[in-house]
Amino acid sequence: MIEIFTRRMEVTNPGVPLVKTERFLDSPPKSRNEALASFMRRIGVCEERGSGVDKVVFQTEYYQLPAPVFEETDEHTRCVLFAHREFREMDKQDRIWATYLHACLRYVQRDYMTNSTLRQRFGIEEKNSAMASRIIKDALEAGKIRQFDESASRKYMKYVPWWA
């Protein structure tokens, strides 16, 4: 079911997800019905890799939209996409979640999140790098990301998702 509201769009699918919602971006595809999935891949309706979430997160970053939210209910899976919001209108949790997804996206692209990439994701000017540093600190404290190499200097620090 697809519902469109003034400031968001919700896509709800019956059934609970086969992987944790916070791992949608990096998990290999799984199917409840492999015979049907195989047929759908052969006729070009779906793809093998399962990169749909990667594409959605990439596009939300490209257009500097708030990060999508993935929710699990007792019987459904829901993805919520939001309309554009200025950086200053995002709350702390929105910023942490966007930072986590940014780190995930960079990781699956075989790269790392840095202060610079996060500034670009949020559209923060270089002179305001302290804002990105604060968001990174919040995401570290929330356990959503971790330092890739703790011995690196602060200026050259790289970050990965907590599970990497």
The model's pLDDT over 13-45, given as tens digits with 9 standing for 90+, comes to 999 988 888 988 887 777 778 888 888 888 988
What per-residue confidence (pLDDT) applies to 49?
A: 62
Total-model pTM? 0.87
What per-residue confidence (pLDDT) applies to 29?
A: 73
CA distance 61 to 89: 16
| For residues 145-155, average pLDDT | 90
Looking at the DSSP assignment, which residues form a beta bridge with residue 80? Answer: 10, 69
The model's pLDDT over 90-145, given as tens digits with 9 standing for 90+, comes to 999 999 999 999 999 999 999 999 999 999 999 999 999 999 999 999 999 999 99
- Evaluate whether 10 touches 76 at the Cβ level (below 8 Å): no
- pLDDT band of residue 58 (cuts 50, 70, 90) is very high
- pLDDT band of residue 62 (cuts 50, 70, 90) is very high
Helix axes 92-108, 129-141, angle to 10 degrees: 90
- Evaluate whether 48 touches 109 at the Cβ level (below 8 Å): no
Is the pLDDT higher at 50 or at 133?
Answer: 133
What per-residue confidence (pLDDT) applies to 48?
A: 65
